[in-house]
Amino acid sequence: MAKSDILFYLATFLFCSGLLITFTKQNAIMILVGIELMLNAANLNLVVFNYQKQNLDGQLFALFIILVAVCEAAVGIAIILKTYHFYHTSVPDQINELKEKF
């Protein structure tokens, strides 16, 4: 089994575990952790493709994804902290004041 095949399996495992965390956890911080795992799996795939093709396109896209992940984490944590300060909970299902009433 080649080195790149093992890394593809690792990226698949990371993406599936991030997807599972995102769908099953109710805490907003754990949802962000799941999204970060999925972004890291995409980064790993890009770097492996870069290793196979011997060009810098994969690394440039990986740096762009890292930049997007950092911005997403900063904005997400700020929103979660502000929501926790106002509602005293970080579980998104318990925040129902903004829902429409039918």
Q: What is the pLDDT of residue 46?
A: 87
- Residue 89's pLDDT is 81
Q: Is the pTM of the predicted complex or chain greater than 0.75? A: yes
Query: Which domains are assigned to the chain?
Result: 26-91 (1.10.287.3510)
Neighbour tally for 63: CB within 10 Å: 13
Longest alpha-carbon distance in the chain:
57
Q: How far apart are the first and last CA of the chain?
A: 57
| Residue in 76, 77, 43, 74 with CA at minimum distance from that of residue 60 | 43
Whole-number pLDDT of residue 37? 93
**For position 19, what pLDDT does the model report?**
96
d(CA 50, CA 101) in angstroms, rounded, equals: 51
Q: Which amino acid is at 1?
A: M
The fraction of the chain above a pLDDT of 90, given in percent, is 26
Residues of the chain with pLDDT under 50: none
